[in-house]
């Protein structure tokens, strides 16, 4: 007689295998981390331990195919706002200020606790400091595809794209082969990456044979911009840049056409459908029924808790089923059985983890849950239609009906009590974190800037910069330094700049600036123009105002030459300005560099001092500042 470690008996075993096999009054035999046998085969095993499931359903643990686990700590922070206001006015500033390894570890533990309690045993993540997320998930005992985010601009955990790519490589090397964690690069989205980033990430994933996690075609605007900028929609564009060399997990795919769906199928890309997030952010409804029809592996995800606002996969699969019917005007679309398959086996396949999880079959890891269908909201039940069981689970069950959860052969929850996480401690810590975010936002919201953000009118771009202006002794000396090997010039341009300033009664509120730039070619002809309206935070420019700028002037006109240069590994913009209005003798330089944290700003300020000396700036006539800038407008 074969032996196993644990046998679950007297269960309705919903295997969710390809043939949707159900074993009533069946067993599951588990040895170590894996399933040894299911159904009648399992009955033959003698086990060291036996658990009587008392007629409850034993099924695969649910698979959350797309989330940002640490964002549980931003749950309910900002709701019912325009997408750009939500993202750039709240999420990104708060993330920049707070996201750290400790923050993401806490948020991930909270997410794991919530997911385990709702029957999820595996999830696909994408965030910053993914190392801490992977550790927290592994400690909680959950299976996770962890995507280290790569973006074209600085993030909470990387100063540049090269940095974040190096971090992703490091992360993959460290976690590859872990029994629970599958590491991956996560280029955030086509519109936040460059073609080089997409290609580099795909090559990285292919090199280590790990999946790649990305957001694709989430909004109509994204597709529109892709058509305008690249002459094609999103899927062909990422294909052109080698994305499908990797095993892709694409979140959203709301706005994809027939050809794109076929391409996703041909390249064996998995899709994560996030119905709540897509509805809540007004992104639209993904063509899920059509994607499934054409054979694409479409899983279901909750997305981050900031756009959902919970991680409840029971709600999510129910909504997926209902939405497909409502959107297609067809009540037969996406039946309950298929919705449950999306939330289990097909979701695992979309994550490229179906060799490990997603169904109860011998050889797969023991990732399973026990669900009680004998609750008031789920009785009676009918035996006539075998598919009634799926309808019970998808349409009437609640996440709180999950009684036990096991991942990789280890119990994570027994009888609704979490075994790997301290629920009470997590709630307290999450509340503390929320208080700190509240204080931060309250301090920001007293300014004109934040009022603009709040009314939703003026958010296109926010930047933090360290910036220094100074009068220089000689133009020729500055040009000589630029021509020398002391700095590396990446590119340069020249333009004619007109600024009009308005001040507020309260000087604390900064200035509103309308800027028009005329781009000049070598012969001084205007080749292009742009304008921008900017609200600039309070600076110390007035102290310097006797020398230049606008203490009593409302218009500043200058001839500006601009260089992007690298000095000691740091990128700077250098502006060499000659003031035309107000007419001022001499030349001024302005040095500035993007930054994302106070410490980085301090480091850069030190490098700037050296540069100032190099360019022969007068130390008595320098001003330095870091500022926040919100701008509207663009090229015209």
Rounded CA-CA distance 3/570 in Å is 63
The 3-class secondary structure across 400-467, one letter per residue, is HHEEEEEECCEEEEECCEECCCCHHHHHHHHHHHHHHHHHHHHHHCCCHHHHHHHHCCCCCCEEEEEE
The distance of closest approach from Cβ of residue 119 to Zn ion in the complex, given in angstroms and rounded to an integer, is 21
**Chain residues that interact with Zn ion, rule: CB under 5 A:** 303
Query: Which region holds residue 55: left if phi is over 0, alpha if psi is between -120 and 50, else beta?
Result: left
Per the CB < 8 A criterion, the answer to whether 356 and 349 are in contact is: no
Nearer to Zn ion, 297 or 303 (CB): 303
The distance of closest approach from Cβ of residue 255 to Zn ion in the complex, given in angstroms and rounded to an integer, is 15
The distance of closest approach from Cβ of residue 86 to Zn ion in the complex, given in angstroms and rounded to an integer, is 13
Nearer to Zn ion, 297 or 401 (CB): 297
Tokens for 594? 């993007």
Rounded CA-CA distance 324/301 in Å is 15
Rounded CA-CA distance 583/581 in Å is 5
Nearer to Zn ion, 130 or 303 (CB): 303
Query: Nearest residue to Zn ion, using CB?
Result: 303
The distance of closest approach from Cβ of residue 277 to Zn ion in the complex, given in angstroms and rounded to an integer, is 7
SS3 (DSSP) at 26: strand
Per the CB < 8 A criterion, the answer to whether 512 and 501 are in contact is: yes
Nearer to Zn ion, 65 or 449 (CB): 65
The distance of closest approach from Cβ of residue 79 to Zn ion in the complex, given in angstroms and rounded to an integer, is 16
Query: Which region holds residue 537: left if phi is over 0, alpha if psi is between -120 and 50, else beta?
Result: beta
SS3 (DSSP) at 109: helix
Nearer to Zn ion, 280 or 578 (CB): 280
Rounded CA-CA distance 18/27 in Å is 19
The distance of closest approach from Cβ of residue 123 to Zn ion in the complex, given in angstroms and rounded to an integer, is 12
Q: Cis omega (within 30 of 0) on the bond before 309?
A: yes
Task: Give, in order, the Cα–Cα distances in Å from 441 to each of 69, 77, 218, 437.
Answer: 22, 10, 28, 6
The distance of closest approach from Cβ of residue 126 to Zn ion in the complex, given in angstroms and rounded to an integer, is 6
Nearer to Zn ion, 87 or 403 (CB): 87
Nearer to Zn ion, 65 or 611 (CB): 65
The distance of closest approach from Cβ of residue 32 to Zn ion in the complex, given in angstroms and rounded to an integer, is 34
User: 114: which residues sit within 8 A by CB, 6+ positions away?
Assistant: 72, 310, 311, 312
Nearer to Zn ion, 216 or 520 (CB): 216
Nearer to Zn ion, 288 or 548 (CB): 288
Count other C-beta atoms under 10 Å from residue 34's C-beta: 18
The distance of closest approach from Cβ of residue 149 to Zn ion in the complex, given in angstroms and rounded to an integer, is 10
Question: Within 13 Å, how many C-alpha atoms sit on residue 418's CB side?
Answer: 25
The distance of closest approach from Cβ of residue 334 to Zn ion in the complex, given in angstroms and rounded to an integer, is 22
DSSP notation for 230-293: HSS-HHHHHHHTTGGGSEEEEEE--S--HHHHHHHHHTT-EEEE-HHHHHHTT-----HHHHHH
Nearer to Zn ion, 66 or 143 (CB): 66
């Amino acid at each position: 007689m074969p032996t196993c470690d644990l046998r679950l008996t007297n269960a309705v075993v919903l295997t969710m295998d390809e043939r949707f096999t159900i074993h009533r009054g069946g067993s599951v035999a588990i040895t170590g981390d894996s399933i040894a046998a299911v159904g009648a085969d399992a009955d033959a095993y003698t086990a060291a331990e036996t658990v009587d499931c008392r007629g409850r359903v034993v099924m695969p643990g649910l698979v959350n195919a797309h989330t940002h686990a640490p964002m549980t700590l931003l749950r309910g922070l900002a709701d019912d706002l325009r997408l750009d206001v939500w993202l750039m006015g709240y999420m990104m500033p708060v993330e920049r200020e707070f996201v750290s390894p400790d923050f993401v570890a806490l948020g991930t533990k909270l997410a794991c606790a919530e997911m385990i309690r709702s029957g999820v045993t595996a999830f696909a993540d994408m965030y910053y400091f993914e190392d801490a997320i992977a550790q927290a998930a592994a400690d909680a005992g959950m299976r996770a595809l962890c995507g280290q985010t790569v973006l074209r601009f600085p993030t909470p955990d990387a100063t540049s794209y090269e940095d974040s790519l190096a971090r992703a490589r490091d992360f993959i090397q460290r976690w590859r082969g872990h029994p629970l964690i599958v590491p991956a690069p996560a280029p955030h989205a086509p519109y936040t990456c460059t073609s080089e980033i997409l290609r580099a990430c795909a090559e990285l994933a292919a090199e280590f044979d790990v999946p790649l996690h990305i957001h694709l075609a989430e909004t109509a605007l994204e597709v529109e911009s892709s058509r305008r900028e690249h002459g094609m929609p999103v899927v062909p564009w990422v294909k052109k840049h080698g994305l499908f060399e990797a095993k892709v997990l694409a979140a959203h795919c709301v706005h994809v056409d027939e050809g794109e769906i076929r391409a996703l199928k041909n390249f064996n890309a998995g899709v994560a459908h996030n119905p709540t997030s897509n509805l809540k952010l007004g992104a639209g409804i993904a063509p899920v029924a059509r994607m499934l029809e054409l054979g694409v592996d479409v899983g279901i995800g909750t997305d981050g808790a900031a756009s959902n606002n919970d991680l409840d996969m029971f709600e999510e699969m129910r909504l997926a089923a209902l939405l497909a019917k409502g959107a297609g005007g067809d009540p037969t679309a996406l039946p309950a059985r298929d919705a449950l398959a999306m939330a289990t086996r097909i979701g695992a396949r979309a994550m490229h983890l179906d060799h490990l999880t997603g169904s109860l079959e011998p050889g797969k890891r023991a990732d399973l849950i026990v669900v009680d269908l004998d609750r008031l909201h789920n009785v009676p039940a009918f035996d006539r239609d075998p598919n009634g069981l799926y309808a019970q689970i998808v349409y009437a069950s609640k996440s709180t009906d999950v009684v036990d959860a096991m991942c990789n052969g280890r119990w994570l929850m027994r009888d609704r009590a979490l075994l790997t996480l301290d629920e009470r401690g997590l709630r307290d810590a999450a509340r503390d974190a929320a208080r700190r975010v509240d204080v931060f936002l309250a301090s920001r919201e007293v300014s004109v800037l934040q009022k603009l953000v709040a009314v939703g009118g003026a958010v296109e771009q926010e930047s933090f910069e360290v910036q220094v202006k100074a009068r220089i002794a000689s133009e020729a000396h500055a040009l000589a330094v630029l021509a020398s090997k002391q700095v590396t010039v990446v590119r340069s341009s020249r333009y004619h700049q007109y600024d009009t300033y308005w001040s507020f009664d309260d000087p604390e509120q900064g200035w509103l600036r309308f800027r028009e730039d005329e781009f000049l070619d070598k012969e001084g002809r205007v080749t292009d123009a742009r304008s921008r309206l900017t609200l600039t935070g309070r600076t110390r420019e007035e102290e310097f105002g006797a020398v230049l700028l606008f203490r009593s002037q409302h218009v500043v006109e200058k001839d500006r030459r601009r260089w992007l240069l690298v000095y000691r590994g740091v990128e700077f913009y250098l502006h060499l300005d000659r003031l035309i209005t107000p007419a001022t003798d001499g030349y001024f330089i302005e040095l500035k560099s993007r930054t994302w944290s106070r410490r980085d700003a301090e480091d850069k300020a030190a490098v700037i001092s050296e540069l100032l000396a190099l360019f022969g700036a007068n130390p008595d006539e320098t001003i330095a500042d870091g500022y926040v800038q919100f701008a509207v407008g663009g090229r015209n």
